[in-house]
Chains A and B, each alone.
Chain A
Amino acid sequence: MFKTLLKQVKQYKWVAIATPLCMLLEVLMETMIPFLMASIIDKGVNAGDMGHIIKIGVLMIGTALIGLAGGLLGGCFGAKASTGFARNLREAMYNHIQTFSFANIDKFSTAGLITRMTTDVNSLQMSFQMCLRMAMRAPASMICALVMAFSINAKLSMIYLVAVAFLGVVLFFLIRKGSGLFRAAFPKYDELNASVQENVSAIRVVKAFVREEEETRKFKKASNNIYKVFSKAEKYMILNGPLMQLTVYTCIILISWFGAKMIVGTELTTGELMSLLAYCMNILMNLMMLSMLFIMLSMSLASAERVSEVLNETSSLQNPENPIMEVKDGSIVFKNVDFGYNTTSEKPVLRDINLEIKAGETIGIMGGTGTGKTSLINLISRLYDVTDGEVLVGGHNVKEYDMEALREQVAVVLQKNVLFSGTIYENLRWGNSEATDDECKQACKLACADEFIERFTDKYDTYIEQGGSNVSGGQKQRLCIARALLKKPKVLILDDSTSAVDTATDAKIRKAFREDLPGITKLIIAQRISSIQDADRIIVMDDGEINGFGTHEELLETNAIYREVYESQTGGSGDFDEKEAD
């Protein structure tokens, strides 16, 4: 795990190595300072030796300057290494996600990927910086101080060893207990956030049912719960401070007492006693630092795991060697295709699919939810790989094509489609970055999007908000279709892409397809019979299998499912937008 992450340090390797070294320099200089101070007092001030004060003073300023240089460089390097590391991580993750197949994305879920790229990376950046700057500094400073203390007086310094051991053990247990409680408390925070989220997005329901007071009551209860669990967890954590004070003060008292006796016994000088006392603070502060470091690291461990999981994921779809770059025509063949999203699940989503579609045909696909319509068409542009059998487009197995080339020539308008923030032109040019304005307009005309675009004040330069929130559902769908048309594909797949478009416009779009795009193979998934009944042939899906395949008239006669749906939609209970005049 750490190897995966550390690989991303890349160009910041040297800075990352230099940081702890600079910190080491700073620490060494810092340890010198109390030593020099003692000298100023002992030999300078107390002895009244001005020359010594100046000499050591200059030495001390020099030491301070070197320490300053170390500190400054360490600070710069540390910042650069850690923020650079975060940048590389984000970039590596983002680029890696681009190679993910649909199956990979499904595995992590989009929300999961977003959290990993934002929150987790931030927490890693902080930990990394802490590691670089503190992991070396704190122990080094502690050891230096201990060494100095021992060199002054080994017997007295034993007190420090005992103190360090005592504090270390107690801190360890405190932190373990406390962080356990914290970890248990954090999900409560998530719950609270979820409830805010819920109330923000469903505010209409809350208001419609006049539930404001009840929701506030619920929220306050949850909020008070957090108050309780966090107060409890922090109760352990705050013991740190007093404990630290207790140890320091005990040390001071012990050293003073035994030190005084030793001075009397001429085993120690006054100046040395002062230095020993100065190191006391230093040693225990650094121990404290170290414990903080452990807390930080243990907390970001989960983040590290989650990030490296993404980085180590291999895409389930790989490009073949010597891929075919050109799709010859829009013919599609399914040979004994089985497919399941999860190879271990018992029942595949698609079973034994055999299909032959000629180039230029218009094929309607219908069936209830969960019957495998979307799964079927996802195999054509190789968004997923078949479990068994093969799918051929333009006479070749889809696995033989370059994936990008295949997807350029098999355009899919997804069921859950999105527009991106940017102008309409920019969105359209996702289909073809070189498309001219006229080509864009032409595509919009075919998709019947031109009429409403022309009504916008900025026309094609209208800015689409994130997720297309400023256009209606039907308008969004038409823009998505136009975007797909700009690819000039050999195969066009519409996955329920006109559900929010009114019947009249839907009919107009289909007419345009029929008349202006005769060469393109068109696959249309729809719930409304009217959207597909004029197709050349219609596939009826049922429970992962093809239940019927034929023209509208044939299916009406032979296929029970088709007939039932047709009757329900044209009889009294159909869709208002749907009825066609016969």
Chain B
Amino acid sequence: MAEARPAARPMGPMRGPGGPGARGMRGPRPKIKNPGKLFMRVMKYVFRDYAIPYIIVIACIFIGVFASIQGTLFTKTLIDEYITPFLLTPTPDFTPLAKAIGRVAIFYAIGIISGYTQNRIMINVTQGVLRNLRDELFEHMEKLPIKYFDTHAHGDIMSVYTNDIDTMRQLISQSIPQMVNSVVTVISVFISMVILNVPLTVLTLVMVAVMMFCASKTAGNSGKYFLEQQKNLGTVNGFIEEMIEGQKVVKVFCHEEENMTQFKELNDNLFVSANKAHTYANILGPINAQLGNVSYVLCAIAGGALALSGISGLTLGGLASFLTFNKSFNMPINQVTQQLNSIIMALAGAERYFNLLDAEVETDEGYVTLVNAKEENGKLVECEERTGRWAWKHTHQADGSVDYVELKGEVVFDFVDFGYTDEKMVLHDIELYAKPGQKIAFVGSTGAGKTTITNLINRFYDIQDGKIRYDGINVNKIKKSDLRRSLGMVLQETHLFTGTVADNIRFGKLDATDEEVVAAAKLANADAFIARLPQGYDTMLVGDGANLSQGQRQLLAIARAAIADPPVLILDEATSSIDTRTERIIQESMDRLMHGRTTFVIAHRLSTVKNSDCIMVLEQGRIIERGTHEQLLEEKGKYYQLYTGNAIGA
């Protein structure tokens, strides 16, 4: 059927390697492991949600094949039973012919209707399975630990959605129905042929074997080069991406010539494999078509000899029919081989899809939950309504008794060791104690481990040794979602989402009223600039808030954290060069946000550090100094050096 879509979706302005199957797949991936298993797994998806429609589709295919065979047979009937007798009678009666035509018209109508039904149902099955594949992948992806995103190229993850799922679409919507159709046709034609004549059937089968052999050779080669082409395409796209992104640097360093040479080499490699892949794919059709013709001729000659010599009881009329069948036997085989490449590509795509789907999700064995609380007779009790007070509901596993601990925002690190991998520790013996409402500042040079510490409090990563306690509860026992809900976060790199300004602020609290949104914006000093936007709070933000300045984006991030109103805040102050005026506005709103909350701040600003209750000076994953600003200045250690600028070696 006519498929109006291009093989792969153009991806528009999206970053990352684009195009059909273009991906950042760097390592060689010549073979697909376990193609059969992958295929079955894809089919499981189809049958899980669309078993009945898919079975109806297959039934329609059967009916369609049956109708078209009836059509083929009609030609023979037309000639043998009507036209030939007509020639013998002087006044032929056309009424029986009209009736026969009426009968075959009914078959045709059935064929058309079943064809339409098949296609119509197939739309829903294909689009539905695609939707489910996407949805399931996304849902799974959202559950993956941060570590997965830190260790996998984002372009590769993206390409599963854009390219790999698309190759699976082809498999489900085209290749499989085509194969079913072909198999049904082949079987029914085969039976008809055997009934007509066995020796000729054997001859046909021999020719089919030759065709299959040629096809599998060419298709195998083609598939191999297609995979190679995909790999080279990935490399070329990666190169383009890297160099065009850095094009300004390329120009500043006059590196154009070198890049052109390098690009030419990669581009030529791509050409070689693409050329081979397409050549093999292109010649497959003609080879099979002409071999089919040869098979036809051989059958005609052998059949003629058989019929004329009278051996094996073949009649001339039978031979004519047999030759028709020979033609319709070769066609579906031809079609199946044409599908081989899409199948190989689809399975490679399915492999990557399932790799992502099988990635281990973030585990959460926490059982302490966050509940609304109010005080009754001096005791904390759980309640439904929002009271502004929160408590940790701690159900003891041993006896099932329930404790309520008020959420205050006390955070303790007890001899924490951590490494992103087990071999290499990044943090050693970290010990810290933050009372509710205190401000703890981390200072130290890049790579000292400041960001890492903040990644541990909300359990983006789990520690190797030691304990982190939150209001006296080991964070491992707290349900991750509740833990994170109680921690606000403003990161150095501000990420905004497609949606209105209000939507972005509401990110912090889904059910916030308009008044709350405005209040949060006011606290963050964002109200003024939002008011100046064309549609105010309803202004659409696109492309990570590209239409806002860096300072404005930061203010929105602060408003987003403010609306969540968490007792504990993790702040990563921006080092980025924001001019002094904007910086002052941001600082003011940060200070307001920090007021009354336990705050962990990766500090770059003097005022933040000065006002901190405790400053932790980090170096190579250890806290080397701690104390207030004044205490540390007196110590005349590393902090003093940093503060006075009289650093190392000067």
Contact = CB atoms under 8 A, between A and B. Distances in A.
Contacts of A123: 6, 10, 19
Contacts of B19: 118-119, 121-123
Given A64-B293, A573-B584, A499 B115 contact: no
A474 B446 contact: yes
Contacts of A205: 489, 491, 495, 507
A368 B580 contact: yes
Interface string A51-65: 001100100110111
Nearest to A561: B580
A109 to B, nearest CB: 8
Summarize B's interface: helix, strand, loop or mixed.
Answer: helix
B14 A507 contact: no
B354 interface: no
Contact of B12 (A182, A193, A383): A193
Contacts of B623: none
Given A117-B240, A277-B75, A260 B162 contact: no
Given A200-B157, A245-B115, A256-B101, A98 B260 contact: yes
B286 A67 contact: yes
Interface string A359-375: 00000000111110000
A94 B253 contact: no
Nearest to B549: A369
Interface stretch (A70-78, A144-152, A544-552): A70-78
A235 B643 contact: no
A352 interface: no
B126 to A, nearest CB: 8
A157 interface: no
A580 B645 contact: yes
Interface in B444-498: 445-447, 458, 460, 481, 484-485, 487-489, 491, 495, 497-498
Contacts of B237: 114, 118
B247 interface: yes
Contacts of A215: 142
B247 to A, nearest CB: 6
B83 interface: yes
Contacts of B250: 98
B575 A209 contact: no
B194 interface: no
Chain A interface extent, by class: 35 or more
A72 B287 contact: yes
A253 interface: yes
The main secondary structure of chain A at its interface with chain B is: helix
Given A223-B135, A260-B86, A295-B2, A71 B123 contact: no
Contacts of A496: 577
A431 B154 CA distance: 30
A206 interface: yes
A249 B108 contact: yes
Nearest to B82: A260
Contacts of A381: 252
B481 A210 contact: yes
Contacts of B282: 74-76, 78-79, 133
22 contacts: A26-B286, A45-B323, A48-B316, A60-B297, A78-B282, A79-B277, A87-B267, A87-B271, A90-B240, A98-B256, A200-B141, A204-B495, A238-B119, A260-B78, A274-B75, A291-B2, A371-B579, A418-B246, A473-B575, A499-B575, A579-B645, A580-B644
Given A418-B246, A431-B253, 18 more contacts: A33-B293, A40-B297, A60-B296, A68-B287, A71-B290, A91-B264, A94-B240, A196-B157, A196-B161, A208-B484, A219-B135, A241-B2, A241-B119, A242-B115, A263-B86, A274-B75, A369-B582, A569-B580
| Interface pairs A-B: 9 shortest CB-CB | A71-B286, A504-B647, A75-B282, A368-B579, A202-B495, A79-B278, A238-B119, A190-B12, A98-B256
